[in-house]
Amino acid sequence: MDYDNLTATSSEPQAAADGFRTSQDSGVRYYSRFSVAQRFLHGFLLSTFLGLAMTGLPLRFSSAPWAMNMARAVGGFGTILFFHLFSAVVLTIAFGIHVANLVYRIVSRKEYGLVWGPSSMVPNLKDIQDFIAQIKWFLFRGPKPKFGRYAYWDKVDYWAVFWGMGIIGLSGYAMWFAPFFTRFIPGSWLNIALLIHGEEAILAVGFIFTIHFFNTHLRPDNFPMDLVIFTGRQSEEELKHRHPEEYRKLVESGQLEKLRVEPPPRWLRNFGWLFGGAAILIGLIFLCLMVVAFVSE
């Protein structure tokens, strides 16, 4: 995704800094990108994933000094497990609501563009072409690809959630409700579930706190923070620069002005800076703790 605070007359770093102080973007046009429901969903996913990481890593590396200190601070590993399970339930509910909404929109409202088209998160041939073009651009062998509404890395991030819910979620629930699941599977399979749950969780945490954070916030186009997922709005410069193919189609179809909105208010930007910044900081701290504990095993 994509979203800091460019203005027509400011450099990216300066614009990002200005975005924290004021919402008075004189002369800058803003367009809607994410609905309130989409932003709330992302907020739930972000909060619960952080909760799962902050509680799951101490359980996985329970012999690490920092994990034992954390357990003592909150009343033991039992307390950590309780909040881990609570976060898992909330994440499952949020994920279920998202999937149900997708099915409703596709089946009942016949929004087939969600399955195939420029606004779809389903990978297609253009994503492969964009990936190859991006590699060539990195090697100074071609122009930068013109991305549509979603770049290929956005789709990788999106589908990683489905992979995580399927592999990590099912293995976790199998261990939580062992008496039920062992009616259908051998009890020894729970040992495999424990191994899968722990190792896949490490992979997920590593991916989100490195690849996703970099693609979304830390790459030069977005550094130091991409606010669009918090404000839901994107400046015209951002749209033209990061999604030129989408911008072109919106202009040609006459749909661009229908997306015109007011600039994000100061409080909303400040909330994005504080909430997003705290999430990145917490994520990077636990990433470092995870790496240290992993190499020390």
Over 80: is that where the pLDDT of 15 sits? no
Q: Which residues pair with 235 in a beta bridge?
A: 30
Residue 136, in any domain of the structure: yes
Question: How many Cα neighbours within 13 Å face the side chain of 159?
Answer: 10
Question: 5 lies in a domain?
Answer: no
pLDDT mean over 215-236:
87
Average pLDDT, rounded, for the chain: 88
Residue 3 lies in a domain: no
Residue 250, domain member (yes or no): yes
Residue 33 near residue 228, CB atoms below 8 Å:
yes
Residue 1 lies in a domain: no
Share of the chain above pLDDT 70, in %: 91
Q: What does the pLDDT read at residue 141?
A: 93
Question: How far is it, in rounded angstroms, from Cα 4 to Cα 225?
Answer: 6
Q: Residue 8 pLDDT > 90, yes or no? A: no
Domain that holds residue 93: 12-296
Total domain count, the chain: 1
Within-domain flag for 7: no
C-alpha to C-alpha distance for 65 and 46, rounded to whole angstroms: 27
Give 32's strand partners: 233
- The CATH number for 26's domain is 1.20.950.20
Which amino acid, residue 104? Y
User: Residue 176 corresponds to which tokens in the numbers above?
Assistant: 């939580």
Q: Which residues contact 87 (CB under 8 A, 6 or more apart)?
A: 48, 51, 52, 55
Per the domain annotation, does 71 fall within a domain? yes
Summarised one tens digit per residue, pLDDT across range 27-71 is 789 999 999 999 999 999 999 999 999 999 999 999 999 999 999
- Residue 37 within a domain: yes
pLDDT in tens, 159-197: 988 988 899 999 999 999 999 999 999 999 999 999 999
What amino acid is encoded at 283 in this protein? G
